[in-house]
């Protein structure tokens, strides 16, 4: 293990405990490491292809920077930034055990714990306005308010990352799930109104249009995925 400065050794030992759960939950750590490597091997080349296609379409003008695409671009950058650090974080956690690298990696986890759910909530709110208030949405497609919201979320995410990077034990408290809870409430409310609007019968008692039916299935699948991702059973233990 690399040596630490003597004047900060006791302090950092309290903040970064590499032996935490290593004896009692060794199997769990192996599962976590296996899935992390699996997701990196599949996800990294996939994100490279996504960025390449995005740049190609944007340069040719076939992919305009709409509000939806803007939020999805931010979401993709956050996911890629989180994913690309997996090899370094895992290598340090199991081999080097350097407290500086571990603290940085704990902070980068904020991209997944804080930034991603909040950006997802923004996507849902944007879809809510487009479906429930289409006329208002058409008159409010400028990117300026979306950029301001995205910058605010990035600021909150970086601040959250710095905080948990210094005090990683906060991940074991309710503070870590506050972004999840807030984002999940927004997602459920927005998707609920979207589903209600789409499921309303057409005038004259006709059935739902096939395009609306496909949209309902998409929203339902997305909502189920959000509930599965943001409400793991461990939060209620």
Residue 118: φ, ψ to 5° = -70, -40
Taken in order 185, 227, 67, 143, is the CA torsion positive or negative?
Answer: positive
pLDDT at position 177 over 70: yes
Q: For residue 207, give every residue at least 6 positions away whose Cβ sits within 8 Å of its Cβ, in sequence order, or none.
A: 201
Burial degree of 72 (CB within 10 A; 0-12, 13-18, 19+): middle
**Which residue, 148, 132, 131, 130, is CA-closest to 140?**
130
Q: What is the pTM of this model?
A: 0.77
Distance CA 75, CA 67 (A): 12
Domains and CATH numbers, the chain: 18-236 (1.20.1070.10)
Q: What is the DSSP secondary-structure string of 29-81? A: HHHHHHHHHHHHHHHHHHHHHHHHHHHHHHHHTSS---HHHHHHHHHHHHHHH
CB-based contact 79:47 (threshold 8 Å): yes
**How confident is residue 32, by pLDDT bands cut at 50, 70 and 90?**
confident
Q: What is the DSSP letter of 96?
A: I
pLDDT in tens, 94-139: 888 888 888 888 889 888 889 989 999 998 998 898 888 888 888 8
CA distance 215 to 235: 30
């Amino acid at each position: 293990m690399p040596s630490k400065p003597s004047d900060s050794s006791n302090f950092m030992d309290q903040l970064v405990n590499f032996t935490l759960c290593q004896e009692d939950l060794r199997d769990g750590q192996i599962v976590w490491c296996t899935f992390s490597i699996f997701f990196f091997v599949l996800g990294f080349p996939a994100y490279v292809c996504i960025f390449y296609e995005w740049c190609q379409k944007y340069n040719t003008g076939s992919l305009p920077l709409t509000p939806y695409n803007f939020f999805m671009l931010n979401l993709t950058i956050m996911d890629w930034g989180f994913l690309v650090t997996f090899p370094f974080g895992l290598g340090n956690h199991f081999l080097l055990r350097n407290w500086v690298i571990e603290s940085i990696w704990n902070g980068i986890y904020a991209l997944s714990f804080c930034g991603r759910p909040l950006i997802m909530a923004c996507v849902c709110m944007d879809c809510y306005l487009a479906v429930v208030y289409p006329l208002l949405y058409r008159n409010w497609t400028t990117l300026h308010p979306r950029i301001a919201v995205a910058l605010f979320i990035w600021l909150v995410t970086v601040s959250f990352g710095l905080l948990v990077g210094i005090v990683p034990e906060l991940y074991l408290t309710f503070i870590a799930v506050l972004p999840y809870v807030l984002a999940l409430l927004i997602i459920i409310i927005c998707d609920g109104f979207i589903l209600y609007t789409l499921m309303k019968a057409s005038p004259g008692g006709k059935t739902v249009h096939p395009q609306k039916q496909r949209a309902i299935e998409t929203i339902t699948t997305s909502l189920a995925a959000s509930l599965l991702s943001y409400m793991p059973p461990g939060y209620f233990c």
